[in-house]
Amino acid sequence: NEREPPAGDVHYFLAWLKWARGDTLGAADLLRRAQVTPDRGPSPEVDRAAELISAGNSAAGVDALMLAIQRHGLDARLHAMLADAQLRQAPTDPQARVEGLAARVLAPEDGMAWLRWGVIQAYDGRHPEAVRSLERALALGVADPTRAAQVREILAELRRMLPGGALAQEELHRATGDADARSRRGRSP
C-alpha cells in the first residue's frame, strides 16, 4: 500500500525542476508552499553542520542542514552539504538526488555541483547524462588536478559503457557468440 508523499515534499521537488527550467518565480512560490524561505543566505548554520558531520554526528548535521534550508532555501552550499551527507549515509537516497539537483541549479557555474550530479547520474545508470555532467564539471573546474584526473578516468570508463563504446561492443560480441554456439548445438546430431 503506497501512500502519496506529503504535499510539501512534492512542492519542494517541483520547485527545483522549475528552477532548472528557468522559472525562478514559480520555483520560489513552490518553495514557500513547502515552508522553505527562498533566501540565498549565506546561512550561518553551515559551519555548525560541518562541525557536527566531521565529528561523526551525521544525523545531527543533516538535521541542522534541513533546518537551515527552511530558512535559507537558496543557499547552494546547504544543498550541496546535505546531498553529500545523505549520499555518504545512503547512496540510493532519493532526497540526496533532490538536494544534488538543488545544488546544481542554484550554482550552475560550480564545477563541484556538476561533479556531484554526474556521480549521482552514473550511480543511477544514466551514463550518457553522467558523461555530459562530468564534462561540464571539468570545463568549469573541479578543485585540484588529482580530482580532475579521477574525473577523466571515470569519464573514460563511462564512455566505454555507452552504446558503441568498447564494453558495449564486447557484450554485443559475447552475446552474439553465445547465441551462435547455442544455435550450433541445436543443429548437432
Q: pLDDT tens, 19-29?
A: 999 999 999 99
Average pLDDT over residues 141-153: 93
Q: Is the pLDDT of residue 188 over 60?
A: no
Give the C-alpha separation, 17 to 6, whole Å.
17
Here the cell at position 186 is: 541445436
pLDDT per residue over 33-76, tens digit each? 999 999 998 898 899 999 999 999 999 999 999 999 999 999 99
Q: Is the pLDDT of residue 140 over 80?
A: yes
Q: What is the mean pLDDT of the chain?
A: 90
Give the C-alpha separation, 29 to 79, whole Å.
18
Here the cell at position 102 is: 538543488
Q: Is the pLDDT of residue 32 over 90?
A: yes
